[in-house]
Amino acid sequence: MKTRETWGTRAGFILAAAGSAIGLGNIWRFPGEAYEFGGGAFLLPYLFAILTAGIPLLLLEYTIGRKYRLGPPSAFRSIYRPAEGIGWWQNAIAFFLATFYAVIIAWALSYVFFSPSLAWGDDAGAFFGVEYLRAGEPLDFFEYRPAMLGALAAVWAVVLLIMAGGVRKGLELANRICIPLLLVLFGVVVVRALTLEGAAEGLNAFFTPQWDKIGDYEIWLAAYAQVFFSLSIGMGTMIAYSSYLKKHSELSTTAVTVGFANSSFELLAGIGVFSVLGFMSGEADVPIDQLVGTGGGVAFVTFPTILSQMPGGAFIGVLFFATLVVAGITSLISMVIVPFSSFEDRFGWSRKKSVLVLGLPMAAFSLLIYPTANGSSMVDAVDFAVSGYGLVLGGLATIVLAFATGKIKALAAEANRTSMLKLGNVWYTCLALTAVVLVYTLYKSIQGQIAD
């Protein structure tokens, strides 16, 4: 049998796991969610979810991956034969998420090139075609369709090239280059944001708790969904990544490091985005809450508008959108590894075959579907379905499986073989609590949807 390729170094795996976690979810998704769900009141459920669900689930996925050294379907199958389906469910989620995520990276990439000339003029909304995204007529952005398609093709070309390189020369190398670059780019952008006039107002809006909202199950579901999305859990990504770990790799401090790095990045992104919104609100004399929205709104409409009014905006624009691209690529490859590792481990495919038979069709789907009229309106829907339900269900199924098969103890023992922090009752309790919270919020949410 061929020996399985492994990560070259411990740092290599940590960088890759952090690279997967830190992505568009931190910069593009988190600030809007936090604001929409009660500003400071969102932070509490969010932190609670990181500690009790995020880190424990990271550990669960790392352990499963390292123990079985197989892509998600085969790993689940080794735990309990019929559970293979969980892994294929995660493949379906990965397919939709990756094909849509690439589109957002492509938007960002095209904006790297639009920024120097502030190409959106004085109507960034029309330029982006936000009306169009929300059901109106096609507008200017789509006259840029060649740019969009070119950007999307470039994103996929880079991703498939990285994938073709395998673990060390592909995934690990890409993260070694991208993560330091990301820190520099992002650092400059946040410092600039914080030194803008009005930044404090923005931060107030971000950090002011709306306590009356804390009891809403929607906030809790949103916080859990954000944590799942942001830490890349529930989709088998971390199972796939850790299936390339060496048997003796340490897990617990890695999970804590990744969780901490991701949240720090996320909070900093929130601080950066809200500083800029504070500036904008002062300039335009508009209350902040009218400036935020999720999705395309903040990054591709509000931001460009602000860049046009800000000294040095063109330069910051290039850095900001490049940050999105770099952060996005390191996450996108971790989504694509899910189907790749699944088919390779289940059906003995070679990497070359995966690139041709899985990678190219994914790229084609992404290119053919999303830039079209109906496709672009799918972006929000896919984000909602995938992150709101898909990942959360994947994570829930993993927990239920571990407990129901009684394998949870064996998994803890496997992790404890090398872990500095020993997994035991606290870990079991956190996982069980997570399952209960998820079942409850999902139930409430479905009930709510039916009632509407």
Q: Please report, as ranges, the residues that interact with ligand PHE according to CB under 6 A.
A: 20-21, 23-26, 229-230, 232, 235, 237, 331, 334-335
Q: Token pair of 98, please?
A: 């990756």
Nearest approach, Cβ of residue 231 and ligand PHE (Å)? 6
- Residue closer to ligand PHE by CB (options 281, 331) is 331
CA 264 to each of CA 22, 27, 208, 270: distance values in angstroms, whole numbers, following the listed order: 10, 12, 19, 10
Burial readout 385-399 (b: 16 or more C-beta within 10 A, e: otherwise): ebbbbbbbbbbbbbb
CA 438 to each of CA 146, 191, 393, 431, 434: distance values in angstroms, whole numbers, following the listed order: 43, 37, 8, 11, 6
Nearest approach, Cβ of residue 362 and ligand PHE (Å)? 14
- Residue closer to ligand PHE by CB (options 288, 399) is 399
Question: Any idea which residue has 């997967």 for tokens?
Answer: 20
Nearest approach, Cβ of residue 229 and ligand PHE (Å)? 5
Nearest approach, Cβ of residue 334 and ligand PHE (Å)? 5
Question: Under a CB-based contact definition with an 8 Å cutoff, are residues 388 and 224 in contact?
Answer: no
Classify residue 160 by its DSSP letter.
H
- Residue closer to ligand PHE by CB (options 333, 412) is 333
Residues 6+ apart with CB under 8 A from 59: 251, 252, 255, 415, 423, 427
Nearest approach, Cβ of residue 270 and ligand PHE (Å)? 13
Question: Any idea which residue has 């139930």 for tokens?
Answer: 443
- Residue closer to ligand PHE by CB (options 23, 304) is 23
Question: Under a CB-based contact definition with an 8 Å cutoff, are residues 91 and 390 in contact?
Answer: no
Query: Within a 10 A sphere around the Cβ of 406, how many other Cβ atoms?
Result: 9
- Residue closer to ligand PHE by CB (options 18, 310) is 18
Question: Under a CB-based contact definition with an 8 Å cutoff, are residues 333 and 340 in contact?
Answer: no
Nearest approach, Cβ of residue 59 and ligand PHE (Å)? 16
User: Longest Cα pair distance anywhere in the chain, in angstroms?
Assistant: 67
- Residue closer to ligand PHE by CB (options 310, 324) is 324
Partner residues linked to 349 by β-bridges: none
- Residue closer to ligand PHE by CB (options 23, 45) is 23
Nearest approach, Cβ of residue 48 and ligand PHE (Å)? 19
- Residue closer to ligand PHE by CB (options 331, 342) is 331
Nearest approach, Cβ of residue 237 and ligand PHE (Å)? 4
Pairwise CA distance, residues 248 & 69, whole Å: 12
